[in-house]
Amino acid sequence: MWKRVLLGMGAVLAMGVAGFLTFAPAYVERGMNPVTMPAEGWPVTAEAQALHDRLVIGDWHSDALLWDRDLLDRADRGHTDVPRLLDGNMAVQVFTTVTKSPRGQNYDHNATDTGDNITPLFIGQLRPPRSWFSLRERALVQAQALQDAADRAPDRLRVIRSRADLADHLARRQAGAQVLGAVLGSEGGHPLEGDPANLDVLYDAGFRLMGLTHFFDNELGGSLHGEGGTGAGLSDFGRQVADAMIARGMIIDVTHASPQMVRDVLAIPGARPVLSHTGITRHCPSPRNLPDDLVADIAQAGGIIGVGFWSDVVCGSTPADVAQAIAAAIEVAGEDHVSLGSDWDGSVDTPFDAAHLSALTQALLDQGLSEVQIAKVMGGNMMAYLAETLPEN
């Protein structure tokens, strides 16, 4: 009898654990990635929708791969998946891999050796055990998930690794194909694990963009939010990695980098860094945003500024607030150097998900931007940059 009771208790416990592992990650994601759009949606005129439908649109930052959802399925949480991105007329989306996030993460000061939020998330999601305690493997597991999705649905999703891929993809869309181009990036250079040989490993896995830091200082140098403060710049290892990235046609992302690290990158011959997801200090004086003069210097070097959608960087939670931040970015960087850097699915709030991106086109029209400026910001500038910087083949 007791044996049966114990077996029954074990079965109940196993079902409880299975239920927790099934539903807890989704519960966490819903709480971390809210959409603040009203139930009736944001109003979009027929004129704005028609313009939106004609645009070639690109965005520099989605962290959807972190959440272990099938990107090919329409989700009832988060901000992006392939169906919603296609509904929003997205042509190219950068998907970044998140591999480490410090416990108690904040914009001011994070220790490098503090507890990590991503380890329990990966274990709770039952990701492959090799990724539980290796930052490199976490990046590779997420990269493989993106490639697997593209392999299963090549008519809807394509991973872009070269200029030739990009040109072919845009030609297909121009001919009417409903397919999303995906560029793979890394949120910080710590998946290299201090070994320059791992840059080839990531490159071969499809990575074409890499941030140097995230919320903490790492082997490459100082974070905007780390322990070293604004004076911690690019390390010798970071300089070696940056040179190797330029040689390979990989995009250097200076988001989350300390001001000194940004200056060090700008001093490297041939560097055209991207600031992939940010706000503009003159519009929103947030500790998350770099000083305006550095933003202007990035643009002067031929780089691109991706304006984020979340309230911490645009000081508001409506499409109009994002449009105002974009207008401020144009004042600082010029209309040829501003693009979209949503930070979708990045543990942030946004005023709309990918399917309702036309609300931003409406807000940009309301802000007074011309159709030419809107076409540049919504994707034209990003496509031109990628066509000039990605590897040729």
Averaged pLDDT, 292-317: 98
Has residue 19 got a pLDDT over 60? no
Domain-located, residue 37: no
pLDDT number for residue 12 = 35
**Close Cβ partners of 388 (under 8 Å, ≥ 6 residues apart):** none
User: Model's pTM, two decimal places?
Assistant: 0.93
DSSP 143-166: HHHHHHHHHH-TTTEEE--SHHHH
Distances (CA, A) of 376 to 168, 176, 184, 383: 20, 21, 22, 9
Query: Rounded to the nearest 5 degrees, what angle is found at the Cα of 349, between the Cα atoms of 345 and 353?
Result: 60
Report the CATH number that the domain containing residue 372 is assigned in CATH.
3.20.20.140
pLDDT number for residue 225 = 93
Domain-located, residue 120: yes
Domain-located, residue 191: yes
Q: Which residues of 108-127 are buried (b: 16+ CB within 10 A; e: fewer)?
A: ebbebeeebbbbebbeebeb
Domain-located, residue 38: no
Same domain for 126 and 22: no
Same domain for 54 and 26: no
Same domain for 101 and 22: no
Same domain for 96 and 11: no
Helix axes 135-152, 197-204, angle to 10 degrees: 20
Give the amino acid at 257: A
| Cα distance between residue 252 and residue 209, in whole Å | 6
Helix (H, G, I), strand (E, B) or coil at 34: coil
Same domain for 71 and 8: no
Same domain for 272 and 241: yes
What pLDDT digit, counting tens, does each position of 43-64 carry? 999 999 999 999 999 999 999 9
Helix (H, G, I), strand (E, B) or coil at 301: coil
The whole-chain average pLDDT of the chain stands at 93
* Helix (H), strand (E) at residue 179: none
What are the φ and ψ backbone dihedral angles of 350, each rounded to 5 degrees? Answer: -140, 155
**Domain extent for 128:** 45-389
What is the number of domains present in the chain? Answer: 2
Averaged pLDDT, 84-105: 97
Averaged pLDDT, 342-346: 97
For residue 27, what pLDDT band results from cuts at 50, 70 and 90? confident
For residue 24, what pLDDT band results from cuts at 50, 70 and 90? low
pLDDT number for residue 204 = 98
What pLDDT digit, counting tens, does each position of 185-229 carry? 999 999 999 999 999 999 999 999 999 999 999 999 999 999 876
pLDDT number for residue 13 = 35
Residue % of the chain over a pLDDT of 70? 93
What pLDDT digit, counting tens, does each position of 178-192 carry? 999 999 999 999 999
Give the amino acid at 297: D
Averaged pLDDT, 85-111: 96
pLDDT number for residue 25 = 67
Q: Confirm if 223 and 217 have CB atoms less than 8 A apart.
A: yes
Q: Which two tokens stand for residue 379?
A: 């994707």
Same domain for 145 and 19: no
pLDDT number for residue 168 = 98
Any idea which of 10-19, 212-221, 241-250 has the lowest mean pLDDT?
Answer: 10-19
Same domain for 117 and 16: no
| Cα distance between residue 383 and residue 56, in whole Å | 8
What are the φ and ψ backbone dihedral angles of 373, each rounded to 5 degrees? Answer: -65, -40
Same domain for 11 and 141: no
Tokens 């830091």 belong to residue: 213
Has residue 95 got a pLDDT over 80? yes
Averaged pLDDT, 84-96: 98
Has residue 16 got a pLDDT over 50? no
How many Cβ atoms are within 10 Å of 185's Cβ, its own excluded? 28
Q: What is the largest CA-CA distance in the chain?
A: 78
Same domain for 105 and 6: no
Domain-located, residue 40: no
Distances (CA, A) of 270 to 152, 171, 195, 376: 37, 29, 23, 23
DSSP 302-321: T-EEEEP-SHHHHSSSSHHH
Domain-located, residue 39: no
Averaged pLDDT, 339-355: 97
pLDDT number for residue 9 = 35
| Cα distance between residue 139 and residue 182, in whole Å | 16
For residue 231, what pLDDT band results from cuts at 50, 70 and 90? low
Distances (CA, A) of 132 to 110, 115, 121, 122: 22, 14, 9, 6
Same domain for 25 and 117: no
**Close Cβ partners of 170 (under 8 Å, ≥ 6 residues apart):** 56, 91, 181, 383
20 vs 364, residue with greater confidence = 364
Same domain for 186 and 303: yes
Residue % of the chain over a pLDDT of 90? 90
For residue 14, what pLDDT band results from cuts at 50, 70 and 90? very low
DSSP state of 97: E
Domain-located, residue 53: yes
